[in-house]
Amino acid sequence: MKAVNKVILSRLSFIDNSIQKNKYVKTTELAREYEVSEKTIYRDIQYMKDYFDAPIEYDSNRKSYHYTKPFRLNAFDFTITELYNLAVIRELIRSNKYNPYKTGQKSLFNKLFQSFGDEILNEVRKVKEKVSFNFKPVRKLDEKLFKAIEDALFNERTIKIEYFMVDKNESNKRTIDPYHLRNYEGDWYLIGYNHEKKKVRIMAVNRILKVKKTDFDFDIPDTFKVKDYFKDSFRKRRTSKIYDINLEIKKQYAAQLLESEIHSSQKLKNLPNGNIRVTFKVNDLLEIKEWILTKEAKVIVKSPPELIKMVKKDAEAILKSYK
């Protein structure tokens, strides 16, 4: 299909919507309403016939144009593969019960269904039978609170929040410039500049109790890149200190544990005893410690000493619980 100029496409959509609404339309009225010449409207109607196969005809009795059969102008020419991918995306969205974007996404797909009718509905039916998703559930959030954070994020507006600190079992007030929203394994996190600490911090959205918008705008520094911010994170946490991690994976478990990447910076080395050495850098020890404990004796920590101490302490506490 020939590419359509945006200005022309806008007029074609206007003509199509007018027919959908009124059934019969006069070129004089269309021209007056859109503020173009009647000749332009005639050319647009012919364009709709030639390039979109629009069943549009002139009724001499009514002196108006109308569709002779059901039709909807589709500005996009989706292939079957693209319709299939849309259907997969729909199922992916539907798999998360508490997706905060669900309302807007539902509206989008409803419009697509109206535009493409049976074509996309047939693909949806196929996908539902052949493809399914079962992710870790997204944590349920206060939608108004989430929307307030999102509005401040996209409008680069400073917010004041009340944040609950689990370790202290109390809340405090913070002034935040929101830089980025990140979902990790079903939980939402806000990364932003904390005015009180004068640092970029990461906060769990479910611990934000209140949000108040301010009239202050901010600019995200060019030096902040979310990819760089999490570059040395093992999962979602981070500190300012970088640790060199040295692990040894027992040979009988190496293939299983190395099927997926442990960390983006990892380096592997085969050892004489058949085990695999894995080295990488992280900026927080708590999450790597938790991961190691889930691997039982399959992984041995060689360094740093702080991590060895943390793993031993937790392992001893577990053994003590079973005495």
Residues 120, 166, single domain; the answer is no
Categorize the per-residue pLDDT at 76 as very low, low, confident or very high, splitting at 50, 70 and 90.
low
Q: Does some domain include residue 236?
A: no
Residues 95, 47, single domain; the answer is no
Residue 113 or residue 160, greater confidence? 160
Collect all residues with Cβ–Cβ distance below 8 Å to 123 and sequence separation of at least 6.
80, 83, 84, 86, 87
Residues 163, 202, single domain; the answer is yes
Task: Return the pLDDT at 2.
Answer: 46
Residue 63 or residue 238, greater confidence? 63
Last residue of a domain, one of 130, 153, 168: 130
Q: Does some domain include residue 155?
A: yes
Q: Does some domain include residue 135?
A: no
Q: Does some domain include residue 136?
A: no
Cβ pair 283, 233 in contact under 8 A = yes
Q: Does some domain include residue 238?
A: no
Categorize the per-residue pLDDT at 219 as very low, low, confident or very high, splitting at 50, 70 and 90.
very high
The pLDDT of 131-152, averaged and rounded, is: 83
Domain containing residue 37: 6-67
CATH number for position 40: 1.10.10.10
Residues 297, 249, single domain; the answer is yes
Q: Does some domain include residue 295?
A: yes
Query: Could you tell me the pTM of the whole model?
Result: 0.63
Q: How far is the C-alpha of 170 from the C-alpha of 8, rounded, in Å?
A: 59
Residues 225, 183, single domain; the answer is yes
Task: Return the pLDDT at 26.
Answer: 95
The string over 108-118, giving b where at least 16 C-beta atoms fall within 10 Å of a residue's C-beta and e elsewhere, is: ebeebeeebee
The pLDDT of 221-237, averaged and rounded, is: 88
Task: Return the pLDDT at 3.
Answer: 44
Greatest alpha-carbon span in the chain = 95
The pLDDT of 279-299, averaged and rounded, is: 93
Categorize the per-residue pLDDT at 141 as very low, low, confident or very high, splitting at 50, 70 and 90.
confident
Distance separating the N- and C-terminal Cα atoms of the chain: 75
Residues 255, 187, single domain; the answer is no
Last residue of a domain, one of 173, 197, 229: 229
Residues 255, 308, single domain; the answer is yes
Task: Return the pLDDT at 1.
Answer: 44
Tally of domains within the chain: 4
Q: Does some domain include residue 234?
A: no
Model pLDDT for residues 3-60, shown as the tens digit of each residue: 455 678 788 888 998 999 999 999 999 999 999 999 999 999 998 898 888 999 999 9
The torsion angles phi and psi of 120, rounded to 5 degrees, stand at: -75, -35
> Is the predicted pLDDT of residue 81 greater than 90, yes or no?
no
Residue 120 or residue 13, greater confidence? 13
Last residue of a domain, one of 229, 261, 296: 229
Q: Does some domain include residue 75?
A: no
Task: Return the pLDDT at 179.
Answer: 96
